[in-house]
Copies of this chain bind each other. A is one copy, B any other.
Amino acid sequence: MFNKVLIANRGEIAVRILRACRTLGIGAVVAYSEADRDSLAAQIADEAICIGPADARRSYLCAPALISAAMVTGCDAIHPGYGFLSEDEGFADVVRAHDLAFIGPSAEVLERFASKEATRRLLAAHGLRTVPGSAMLRDEAHALAEAERIGYPVLIKPSGGGGGKGMRLVRNAQELESTFKVSRSEAKAAFGDDSLYLEKFLEENRHIEIQVAVDRFGNAVHMFERDCSVQRRHQKIIEETPTPALNEAQRLDLAECALKAVTAAGYENLGTLEFLVDNKGDAYFIEINCRIQVEHAITEMVTGIDMVALQIKIAAGEPLGIAQSDIVATGHAIEFRILAEDPAKDFRPQAGLVGAYLTPGGPGVRMDSHLYPGYEIPTYYDSLLGKLCVWAPDRATAIARGDAALRELLVDGVTTNIELHRAILANQVFLDGKVTTSLLDRVGSAPFVAAGSR
């Protein structure tokens, strides 16, 4: 096991990794930018080190700063969290070159799964159904020809993007023509890579993902699925497990196929395979996330497995220590992403000084957050304030418990989406378990906001 881990991230996940290290009895150093000097992780850590200015490119995205911080504090491993450098094979490689462990897949594994398009081909070869898509697009003419072959509507997707970033929907050739160049230059600016591909757009789909864990010895398990269909502009806002969209046989079949394919393709460490599931229950693989995910907590609630601790153990070269038959998912869990954004004003990100702050308690309630009263939310990073997760023996009780917990959650000083969550919970489509990924964008948030302010 490691001696000491550098936590190369911020916000709630930095606190989460710190908790995992403490439970494992290993040291931890929180690396923070100047804007995060007063962050909860930096405050409660035994050790914390300032790695650079607020600008992430010079702090959380700066490999030399992070590696130097790990070395001067005597760390032997770096946990990258999610986002930032968590899936960067170059970073993983240079970490290893400095005799440090990267807590995640090896550089080779990250490289193999770095291109979405190549990953789709690789996993298709191992038996997963994929969304009909194009090769990398050479030019506009090629794009038009490929779109014709696949059939509209199609999504233009940057190869370097992730989490829905930079995607554009086009419904016909005219839209494709007017969008292609913009998409290319946006991709270049956002990801430093202007490669684009097309993917058939499955309307009324659900987003379902399978959690897997694979150790160095080839032991591999899945931890069932998460349904992340409640999205706004391809950003997840509510996740739940199990999915209400599939029956028991479909769920297990999807999980087993995903695990088999990804293991055969040589994956290692924690990973998540994302699928779009159509209204017939057919699942199309879309991408893999080679890191811990925001929504890992609901899987922890139903399985009882500390996934961050497991990830650290795998990276330290330990065997999984659990077999598939040991993993039982019990009950139903829902995560609500608490975001500093104003649903009434087009979800504009909000800043502010946190005033009164009080988290809910009671059975089956978990709040992972980096907030505290008096905390000033920096404007440099994302709008995630925390994750309220609830568990109950069944979905209806989980929803009731979630609503009760959301009512208790108090975050003064900054506008949040707490009331939007309550409105979604009260919506019949959600209660029926029939939310699709486009629902919020199609309906707009206005009805929910209006309902929420009742």
Contacts and interface: CB of A to CB of B under 8 A. Distances in A.
Interface in A13-31: 15-16, 19-20, 22-25
Contacts of A361: 15, 19, 359, 366-369
A407 B23 CA distance: 11
A176 to B, nearest CB: 45
Contact of A16 (B20, B362, B368, B401): B362
A330 B15 CA distance: 26
A372 B412 CA distance: 13
A404 B22 contact: yes
A404 B362 contact: no
A366 B372 contact: no
Nearest to A21: B404
A223 to B, nearest CB: 13
A400 B26 CA distance: 11
A113 to B, nearest CB: 27
A362 B408 contact: no
A358 B372 contact: yes
A44 interface: yes
Interface string A230-243: 00000000000000
A365 to B, nearest CB: 7
Interface size classification for chain A: 35 or more
Instruction: Give the one of A331, A362, A369 with max B CB within 10 A.
Output: A362
Contacts of A22: 400, 403-404, 407
B358 A362 contact: no
A215 B127 CA distance: 52
Contact of A24 (B44, B300, B331, B400): B400
A404 B408 CA distance: 25
A interface SS class: mixed
B366 A300 contact: no
Contact of A401 (B23, B368, B372): B23
Contacts of A401: 23
Contact of A363 (B358, B366, B393): B366
Contacts of A364: 304, 306
A312 to B, nearest CB: 13
A403 B365 CA distance: 20
A444 interface: no
A304 B306 CA distance: 18
B367 A404 contact: no
Interface in A292-315: 297, 300-301, 304-306
A74 B245 CA distance: 41
A356 interface: yes
A358 B354 CA distance: 13
Interface in A341-392: 356, 358-369, 372-373, 391-392
Nearest to A20: B362
Contacts of A363: 19, 297, 300-301, 306, 366
A397 interface: yes
B393 A304 contact: yes
Given A19-B404, A304-B331, A403-B22, A368 B372 contact: no
Contacts of A306: 363-364, 392, 397
B19 A400 contact: no
Contact of A368 (B24, B362, B368, B373): B362
Interface string A33-54: 0000000000010000000000
A300 to B, nearest CB: 5
30 contacts: A15-B361, A16-B362, A19-B360, A19-B361, A19-B362, A19-B363, A19-B404, A19-B408, A20-B362, A22-B400, A22-B403, A23-B392, A23-B400, A23-B401, A24-B400, A297-B363, A301-B363, A304-B331, A304-B364, A304-B391, A304-B393, A306-B363, A306-B397, A330-B330, A356-B372, A361-B368, A362-B366, A362-B368, A363-B366, A365-B366
List of 9 A-B pairs having minimum Cβ-Cβ separation, nearest first: A22-B404, A19-B362, A300-B363, A23-B400, A361-B368, A23-B401, A361-B367, A306-B363, A358-B372
Given A306-B363, A356-B373, 7 more contacts: A22-B400, A22-B403, A23-B397, A306-B364, A361-B367, A365-B366, A366-B366
